[in-house]
Structure 1
Amino acid sequence: MGDFAWMALASAVLLAFVQAAAALWSVRVSRWAVADVVWGPGFAAVAVLGLLTGHGGIGRRVAVAALVTVWGARLGSHVWARSRSHGGDDPRYERMARGRSTTAMVLRVFGLQGVIQWVVSLPIQLIAVSADPGGGLWALSAAGILLAAAGLVIEAVADRQLQRYKARDPRPAVLDTGLWAWSRHPNYFGDACVWVGVFLVAAATWPGALTVVSPVVMVGLLVWGSGVRLAEQAMADRPGYAQYREKTSVFVPWPPRGDR
């Protein structure tokens, strides 16, 4: 546990630096949405730290570091490109900033994000300092790696399909093709799979099962936090969305009701 404590402390310090740099960048450009850009790369930084400084089993350490780094880099570049295409800050942050000082916003946005990143990255930290599992528990690790890889692909494909939809002129009122025909939020579902998968890899060795707080927090954020809930509110009044909502699963991909 001493090694894990050291990795947890090192990860906390690293994330503090990442969020402090992001906060300075945000204040300089007057855009709080910088926080969204560094969300994925922050996890990638912890994964690289674990790969380079941890001494756990090389198999899981390399696999998880590779998956999380690719996931974080792709997400960061995707959000960066999306942010650059917008003229101003994200409306969510504009509403949040009303009546709050710069210091209060820095703590609320970047301070809180750093804490969440540290909690969600607990399985990565543990994998970095724990031995590879023996016997049949390798199957659990393998299942987690496959699930995380599948989630990464699902999220990337869903984001790409959404980009192509937004680039159409004219475009339909609702995106209901591809992965979006089976789930109203396939990108968030893919994201959830990544973190459930990483947890399963960690759970193959003790005390990895105790890091279950990671997928619980991440899935909670994706479904009830700033993900599905806010997206559903924003889309509620769009023409055709009520019909789309009635036939399409909200999160887990499932055949549309009319096709069953």
Structure 2
Amino acid sequence: MHVNLYMCIVYVRYVCVCVFLFRLAVVFYLLWYIESLADLQHYKFQTLKYSLSPEQRTSHPDGDIRRGFFTSGLFALSRHPNYFAEQSMWVVVYLFSSSHMNISSFSRQLLASFPVYQGVLQYGVNWTALGCLLLILLFQGSATFGESVTAKKYPAYRLYQQHTSQFIPWLPMDKRLFDLEDRKKK
């Protein structure tokens, strides 16, 4: 009787962990798709932009081409949707690596024999969080630097910065603001 109860508890924990890991996998692939789509959208924009002469760019019907930077598609929701997706993917990788923290006492004893897991068992933090954190900081720094360069090159970029989230996708800005800004300059 006790063995059956123990097997049920182990099975339920196993199923819960498997469902959790399956959900993480779905989120990971969704984020991968978002990153790929954002990269593709940006690539197509840059390819078109640089296939035109400066004169063609200034008279192009697409406002993004005239302004010099991309504000459509996923980039209407976030200035760096590809960075958001990749940073989130690293958080999911961390969650994969720390999914074993809800484990049985036998597994805890087994893990205790490995020095690398001492912090996990003692503090409840998986050491792989460090890699995730450092990559997020790298993206934060490179995005901030890249935006400072872009803002100097394209004056209208400041308006885009004011009305569009840097990373987390949010409501798109009203592109008529660019038209208002253009009218003010004339």
Same fold flag (TM > 0.5): yes
Matched, 1:245 2:161: yes
Residue identity matched to 2:171: P
**Cα shift readout 1:130-189 (whole Å, capped 9, x = no counterpart):** xxx723222332232122212211111111111111122332322100000000011111
| 1:178 pairs with one of 44, 56, 73 | 73
Return the alpha-carbon distance in structure 2 between the equivalents of residues 139 and 212 of structure 1: 22
Contact 1:137 1:204 in 2 (8 A): yes
Contact 2:76 2:173 in 1 (8 A): no
**Cα shift readout 1:73-93 (whole Å, capped 9, x = no counterpart):** xxxxxxxxxxxxxxxxxxxxx
CA-CA distance at 1:255 after TM superposition: 0.8
**Cα shift readout 1:195-230 (whole Å, capped 9, x = no counterpart):** 111111111114575122122111111112xx2112
SS in 2 for 1:155: helix
**Cα shift readout 1:74-120 (whole Å, capped 9, x = no counterpart):** xxxxxxxxxxxxxxxxxxxxxxxxxxxxxxxxxxxxxxxxxxxxxxx
Return the alpha-carbon distance in structure 2 between the equivalents of residues 194 and 161 of structure 1: 19
Structure 1 residues 139, 203: CA separation in 2 closer, same or farther (over 3 Å shift)? farther
Residue identity matched to 2:150: M
| Residue 113 of structure 1: aligned partner | none
Aligned residues: 125
Matched, 1:255 2:150: no
Structure 2: tracts of 5 or more residues without a match: 1-12, 58-64, 102-116, 176-186
Contact 1:151 1:193 in 2 (8 A): yes
Give the RMSD, CA atoms, in angstroms. 2.1
CA-CA distance at 1:192 after TM superposition: 0.8
Structure of greater relative contact order (alpha carbons < 8 Å, 6+ residues apart): 2
Structure 1: tracts of 5 or more residues without a match: 1-132
Return the alpha-carbon distance in structure 2 between the equivalents of residues 257 and 249 of structure 1: 10
Contact 1:188 1:251 in 2 (8 A): yes
Return the alpha-carbon distance in structure 2 between the equivalents of residues 212 and 139 of structure 1: 22
- TM-score w.r.t. the length of structure 1 is 0.44
- Same amino acid, percent of matched pairs: 26
| 1:215 pairs with one of 113, 117, 132 | 132
Return the alpha-carbon distance in structure 1 between the equivalents of residues 42 and 19 of structure 2: 34
- Equivalent positions of 1:151-230 (< 5 A) are 151-168=31-48, 169=52, 170=57, 171-172=65-66, 173-206=68-101, 209-210=125-126, 211-224=128-141, 227-230=142-145
- Equivalent positions of 1:95-114 (< 5 A) are none
